[in-house]
Amino acid sequence: MSLVEGIRSIVEDQARAHGFSRVTLLRLEIGRFAGVEKPALAFAFDVVMKGSPAEGARLEIIDLPGQALCYDCMKLVEIADRLAPCPLCDGGRLIPEGGDEMRIRNMEVL
């Protein structure tokens, strides 16, 4: 719920700054390791956005992959979980480089 309240705050700030009154679509990028329960977020979105410029807006969630730098082969690779071995060399020395983010990609507004 608090994540969506933060999104609402951003939407309201942007509406004031740019003079729009309604959001019809909000695209949200969520990384694989962000720890966000997407069904719960989607439910909370509808509830929290009531009375805001984004009331009734469609929420589109874009999944971002987990990424890590493998110190064995020195490649940036996509991984399914944080403890997975490198899919290229099977090395185990990986440092996560992406997949824990959550951000608004863009909004369609009126």
Residue-wise DSSP of 75-109:
-EEEESSTTPPPTTT----EEEEES--EEEEEEEE
Ramachandran bin of 99, using left for φ above 0, alpha for ψ from -120 to 50, beta for the remaining angles: left
* Spatial separation of the C-alpha atoms in residues 75 and 69, rounded to whole Å: 6
Could you read off the pLDDT of 11-40 as tens digits, one per residue? 999 999 999 999 999 999 999 999 999 999
Could you read off the pLDDT of 35-92 as tens digits, one per residue? 999 999 999 999 999 999 999 999 999 999 999 999 999 999 999 998 999 999 999 9
Model pLDDT, residue 50: 98
